[in-house]
């Protein structure tokens, strides 16, 4: 299949944007697939109400079909058509954080086919903040099922070029535009329980939600690599992304972390194995290795979140055999954004952590 790549700039004339989005929307309405930017990561969109579109999404990504899709809407009226009930806490979260990087899991209505929800009677819904994404959903009929626009097992794409690497030739259209400034996927919270449960941490943190609606739980499997329990977000059970190189997270006092990583890097490099480091800006000058990535200041989690997936893709392109990363939160108990970053990092590392 030939994939049409359509660039849209904020400076384009409104008629031109409308024309391109009409074409993109019509592809979705006819059962095709279009990748588009959101504020979190690029999504691979299809008609959420068309079972055939869900099948195509799974096929294009090479993704198991028991892994449910997030339905993207652009307004509350459309939400009401696809969910049985909006609990008061969900109303409050929506009022505060929608449109935005928050996905909520509700009981679904019959309008949503089981193909979209991986057989579940619940549906995950998100209203993106990204202006183009929001418009596109309208042009596409209002209900766009969209997983991250990567091949299964690759990191979520934060740039159009990542989408092109993974999906060129497999889908109808890729919208190339700005976005994905957050860089990791939305927070997922299941609001069907009396105490809502976070199934995937993200930019809207446990602390932010708790301040608004009281207690919010974290699914036990989010940080526990050995948990015998199945995660409640089916997608979280899959080993998300393993870089080609072995990734290890090193935890401890900054001086000790740098000393340990340098010692390992020297051994690997001496053996002819290229080594990469994900470093905070504060430690950057301390490392000697083939590839050193600047994750920004220790005190600003936004920067590492935005770049983490790009770094992982770059290490693969650079043939890095061993990757060491510093930790980006001192404790998992702080209920802040560090939780989301560490969740993605630990998953990519297969939970390999060395304490020094």
Residues near Mg ion, by CB under 5 A: 148
Q: What is the nearest approach in angstroms of Mg ion to the Cβ of residue 67? A: 9
Interface with ligand TXA (CB under 6 A), residue total 29
Which residue spans within 91-202 are E strands per DSSP? Answer: 102-107, 122-126, 144-145, 173-176, 187-190, 197-200
Q: Within 13 Å of residue 348, how many CA atoms lie on the same side as its CB? A: 29
Q: Quick check: 67 binds ligand TXA (CB under 6 A)? A: yes
Residue (25 or 179) nearer to Mg ion, CB: 179
What does DSSP assign to residue 176? E
**Distance set, CA 303 to CA 129, 247, 308, 318, 325 (Å):** 19, 20, 9, 22, 15
Q: Quick check: 180 binds ligand TXA (CB under 6 A)? A: no
Question: What's the angle, vertex CA 218, arms to CA 249 and CA 281, rounded to 5?
Answer: 35
Which residue spans within the chain are E strands per DSSP? Answer: 4-7, 34-36, 43-47, 70-72, 102-107, 122-126, 144-145, 173-176, 187-190, 197-200, 217-218, 246-251, 275-279, 291-294, 322-326, 353-355
Q: Dig out the tokens for 90 from the structure.
A: 């969900």
Contacts with ligand TXA in 84-103 (CB under 6 A)?
Answer: 103
Q: Quick check: 203 binds ligand TXA (CB under 6 A)? A: no
Quick one: which segment of 5-13, 114-122, 252-260, 336-344 binds ligand TXA (CB under 6 A)? 114-122
How many residues are listed for the chain in this entry? 356
Q: Quick check: 252 binds ligand TXA (CB under 6 A)? A: no
Residue (201 or 243) nearer to ligand TXA, CB: 201
Q: Quick check: 308 binds ligand TXA (CB under 6 A)? A: no
Which residue spans within 127-235 are E strands per DSSP? Answer: 144-145, 173-176, 187-190, 197-200, 217-218
Q: What is the nearest approach in angstroms of ligand TXA to the Cβ of residue 64? A: 10
Q: Quick check: 205 binds ligand TXA (CB under 6 A)? A: no
Question: What's the angle, vertex CA 181, arms to CA 154 and CA 189, rounded to 5?
Answer: 70
Residue (125 or 320) nearer to ligand TXA, CB: 125
> What strand order describes the sheet that includes 102-107?
4-7, 173-176, 34-36, 43-47, 144-145, 70-72, 122-126, 102-107, 187-190, 197-200, 217-218
Q: Quick check: 243 binds ligand TXA (CB under 6 A)? A: no
Q: What is the nearest approach in angstroms of Mg ion to the Cβ of residue 237? A: 13
Q: Quick check: 43 binds ligand TXA (CB under 6 A)? A: yes
Q: Quick check: 74 binds ligand TXA (CB under 6 A)? A: no
Residue (86 or 123) nearer to Mg ion, CB: 123
Q: Answer for the pair 337, 205: CB distance below 8 angstroms, yes or no.
A: yes
Q: What is the nearest approach in angstroms of ligand TXA to the Cβ of residue 283? A: 30
Work out what residue 26 binds among Mg ion, ligand TXA, none; the CB cut-off runs from 5 to 8 Å by kind: none
Q: What is the nearest approach in angstroms of Mg ion to the Cβ of residue 202? A: 12
Work out what residue 152 binds among ligand TXA, Mg ion, none; the CB cut-off runs from 5 to 8 Å by kind: none
Q: What is the nearest approach in angstroms of ligand TXA to the Cβ of residue 184? A: 8
> Is 110 exposed, middle or buried, given 0-12, 13-18 or 19+ CB atoms closer than 10 A?
exposed
Binding track, positions 136-175, relative to ligand TXA; x by CB under 6 A: ----------xxx---------------------------
Q: Across the chain, which distance is largest between two alpha carbons, in Å?
A: 62
Choosing from 233, 308, 320, 349, the residue that interacts with ligand TXA (CB under 6 A) is 233
Q: Quick check: 201 binds ligand TXA (CB under 6 A)? A: no
Q: Quick check: 185 binds ligand TXA (CB under 6 A)? A: yes
Torsion angle of the four alpha carbons 336, 339, 340, 341, in this order, in degrees rounded to the nearest 10: 110
Chain contacts with ligand TXA (rule: CB under 6 A): 38, 40-41, 43, 67-70, 103, 105, 117, 120, 122-124, 126, 146-148, 185-186, 188, 199-200, 232-236
């Amino acid at each position: 299949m030939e994939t049409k790549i359509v660039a849209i700039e904020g400076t384009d004339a409104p008629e031109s944007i409308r024309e391109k989005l009409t074409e993109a929307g019509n592809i979705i309405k006819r059962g095709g697939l279009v990748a588009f930017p959101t504020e979190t990561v690029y999504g691979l969109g299809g008609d959420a109400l068309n079972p055939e579109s869900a099948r195509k999404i799974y096929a294009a990504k090479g993704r198991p079909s028991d892994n449910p899709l997030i339905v993207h809407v652009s307004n509350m009226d459309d939400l009401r058509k696809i969910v049985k009930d909006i609990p008061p806490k969900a109303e409050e979260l929506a009022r505060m954080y929608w449109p935005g990087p928050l996905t909520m899991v509700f009981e679904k209505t019959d309008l949503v086919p089981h193909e979209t929800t991986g057989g579940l009677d619940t549906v995950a819904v998100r209203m993106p903040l990204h202006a183009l994404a929001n418009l596109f959903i309208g042009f596409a009929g209002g209900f766009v099922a969209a997983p991250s626009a990567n091949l299964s097992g690759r990191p979520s794409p934060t740039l159009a070029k990542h989408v092109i690497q993974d999906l060129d030739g497999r889908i109808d259209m890729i919208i190339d535009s700005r976005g994905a400034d957050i860089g990791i996927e939305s927070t997922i919270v299941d609001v069907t329980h009396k105490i809502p449960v976070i199934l995937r941490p993200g930019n809207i943190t446990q602390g932010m939600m708790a301040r608004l609606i009281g207690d919010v739980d974290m699914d036990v499997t989010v940080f526990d690599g050995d948990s015998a329990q199945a995660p409640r977000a089916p997608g979280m059970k899959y080993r998300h992304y393993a870089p080609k190189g072995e990734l290890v997270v090193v935890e401890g006092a900054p001086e000790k972390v740098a000393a340990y990583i340098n010692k390992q890097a020297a051994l690997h490099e001496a053996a002819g194995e290229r080594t990469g480091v994900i470093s905070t800006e504060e430690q950057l000058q301390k490392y000697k290795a083939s590839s050193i990535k600047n994750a920004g200041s220790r005190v600003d989690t936004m920067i590492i979140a935005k770049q983490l997936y790009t770094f992982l893709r770059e290490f693969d392109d650079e043939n890095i055999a061993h990757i060491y990363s510093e930790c980006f939160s001192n404790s998992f108990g702080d209920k802040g954004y560090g939780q989301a970053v560490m969740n993605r990092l630990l998953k990519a590392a297969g939970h390999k952590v060395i304490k020094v």
